[in-house]
Amino acid sequence: MWYRVAKASQYLVITGSGIEDIKLAKKAWILPGQSCTIFDVSPVNYTFNVQAMSAEKLAFRLPAVFTIGPRVEDKESLLKYAKLLSPHDRLSEDVKDLVQGIIEGETRVLAASMTMEDIFKGSKDFKKEVFEKVQIELNQFGLLIYNANIKQLVDVPGHEYFSYLSQNIQTEAANQAKIDVAEAKMKGEIGAKLREGQTLQNAAKINAETKIVSTQREGEGKKEEIKVSTDVKIFANKREADLAEANAELATKKAGWAQRAQMAEVESAKAVAIRAAELQREVERKNAMTQTEKLKADFLCKASVDYEIKVQEANSELYNKQKSAEATFFEKEKEVEGQRLAAEASLYARKQAADGELYAKKKEAEGLVALAEAQGTYIRTLLEALGGNYAALRDYLMINGGMFQEVAKINAEAIRGLQPKISIWTNGTGGEVADGGAAMKEVAAVYRALPPLFKTVQEQTGMSPPPWMGSLTNSDSQ
């Protein structure tokens, strides 16, 4: 009897008397009639180069490194490993062949059900599928995949799928980079025009606000009369700002159209250059074929050579006609495209002009509405100040508007040159004022002239004199 202790990464496997099957332990007394072996449970790296074939029958190699070891947290898995694999060394060919066979088999089955494109683009999902399929098979041996690192797929000699795919991706990336550069330049030019337009808008806005503040400060002492003038000035400044904004937007649109036209010209020039290069390549190929036929003519009979030359000339003429027709068609197509773009630009310009005219009419209508509202506010304010007396408001407006002066002027114009007879009313029979003297005669004359003046004003305007000045009767007109 002796006492055995396993290391940190080891287990004791005990069999014999007193043990029904096997016993796993880290330390134990080994009794007579019992046997004890030690196995290591630390994981081991296995490197494989699996060769598989996709659903399109394209062969490829899959370099992979699997870190595999016993499942130490599961007692049943440890028992399976102890029974089946513990007698073998972990790095022995038997264990390696077992693991490699499982990995290669599952990888080939999975790859055969997928296309090469799916395997290449979905490498993460492919790795996950392989990992899960292999783990299911390893469970029956008590093994666990601690880590699986699948490297980049590699072409099998004679099959250059991935190299061609890489070249295609590089070409697409280069073309995309050129496109990105062109778009960046386009955005830069558009941004510059946009900033210029915003600068003009902000300048117009600042000028408008400055004029508004200046007008408001100058009109602080003019009250309601200046307020109407200030509102009109504000409206004019707003129209100037709107006009500046419309001009900026139009400038931005023009820049976009110019850029599109330049892009179309560049694309057309490049397409012509590409077609010229293709034609040049065909010419070179034809020249090479001609040289070959010339060499053949040295060894063949003249009749055969003449026949071949005639055939090649006919083919060359047909090819030239076809290419000429294609070039003509390409030019016509570009010309039609240019006409379409010009028509679209003209239509957009007409639409913008119509929108501008509509906007101007709208702003003019808004100005009339604002003016009417200001006049209404002005009249309501005067009416409130006069205590709601409509007659007093009418008199004030007529006096402030110079109505009486206009009436007197019109009356004077009407009787000019007619030499009217003027009657003078007196309070006495002789036209003299007793005890008044000459000075009172003038005062009496003024008061005698008032009744006919009030009567004339009443007849022409419908206004009666204020109560404190008296009232008109029918006798006043006599």
Q: Give the residue, 108 or 478, on which the prediction is more confident.
A: 108
Per residue in 361-387, pLDDT (tens digit) is: 888 888 888 888 888 888 888 888 888
Q: Are residues 131 and 148 in the same domain?
A: yes
Q: Of the given ranges (154-163, 253-262, 363-372), which has the lowest mean pLDDT?
A: 154-163
**Residue 451 domain-assigned (yes or no):** no
pLDDT(138) > 80: yes
Query: Residue 409: what pLDDT?
Result: 79
Q: Are residues 106 and 27 in the same domain?
A: no
**Residue 310 domain-assigned (yes or no):** no
In SS3 terms, the chain reads as CEEEECCCCEEEEEEECCCCCCEEECEEEECCCEEEEEEECCCEEEEEEEEEECCCCCEEEEEEEEEEEECCCCHHHHHHHHHHCCCCCCCCHHHHHHHHHHHHHHHHHHHHCCCHHHHHHCHHHHHHHHHHHHHHHHHHHCEEEEEEEECCCEECCCCCHHHHHHHHHHHHHHHHHHHHHHHHHHHHHHHHHHHHHHHHHHHHHHHHHHHHHHHHHHCCCCHHHHHHHHHHHHHHHHHHHHHHHHHHHHHHHHHHHHHHHHHHHHHHHHHHHHHHHHHHHHHHHHHHHHHHHHHHHHHCCHHHHHHHHHHHHHHHHHHHHHHHHHHHHHHHHHHHHHHHHHHHHHHHHHHHHHHHHHHHHHHHHHHHHHHHHHHHHHHHHHHHHCCCCHHHHHHHHHHHCCHHHHHHHHHHHHHCCCCCCCCCCCCCCCCCCCCCHHHHHHHHHHHHHHHHHHHHHHHHHCCCCCHHHCCCCHHHHC
pLDDT(358) > 80: yes
pLDDT(434) > 50: no
High-pLDDT (> 70) share of the chain, %: 79
- Among residues 159, 186, 206, the one where a domain terminates is 159
- Among residues 142, 159, 176, the one where a domain terminates is 159
CATH number (domain holding residue 132): 3.30.479.30
Q: Are residues 57 and 152 in the same domain?
A: yes
**Residue 220 domain-assigned (yes or no):** no
pLDDT(4) > 80: yes
Q: Are residues 56 and 144 in the same domain?
A: yes
Query: Residue 153: what pLDDT?
Result: 67
At 472, the pLDDT band (50, 70, 90 cuts) reads: low
Per residue in 182-193, pLDDT (tens digit) is: 787 888 788 788
Q: Are residues 32 and 73 in the same domain?
A: no
Q: Are residues 32 and 105 in the same domain?
A: no
Q: Across the chain, what does the average pLDDT equal? A: 77
**Residue 378 domain-assigned (yes or no):** no
**Residue 17 domain-assigned (yes or no):** yes
At 424, the pLDDT band (50, 70, 90 cuts) reads: low
Query: Residue 446: what pLDDT?
Result: 62
Q: Are residues 65 and 107 in the same domain?
A: yes
Domain count, the chain: 2
pLDDT(302) > 80: no
Q: Are residues 94 and 26 in the same domain?
A: no
Q: Are residues 52 and 27 in the same domain?
A: no
**Residue 78 domain-assigned (yes or no):** yes
pLDDT(168) > 60: yes
Q: Are residues 1 and 58 in the same domain?
A: no
At 478, the pLDDT band (50, 70, 90 cuts) reads: very low
At 433, the pLDDT band (50, 70, 90 cuts) reads: very low
Q: Of the given ranges (14-18, 38-42, 165-169, 220-224), which has the lowest mean pLDDT?
A: 165-169
Q: Of the given ranges (65-74, 106-115, 146-155, 390-399), which has the lowest mean pLDDT?
A: 146-155
Q: Are residues 19 and 36 in the same domain?
A: yes
Domain range spanning residue 31? 1-40
- Among residues 98, 129, 159, the one where a domain terminates is 159
Q: Are residues 54 and 107 in the same domain?
A: yes
* Average pLDDT score over residue span 115-121: 72
pLDDT(152) > 70: no
* Average pLDDT score over residue span 228-246: 78
Query: pTM here?
Result: 0.33
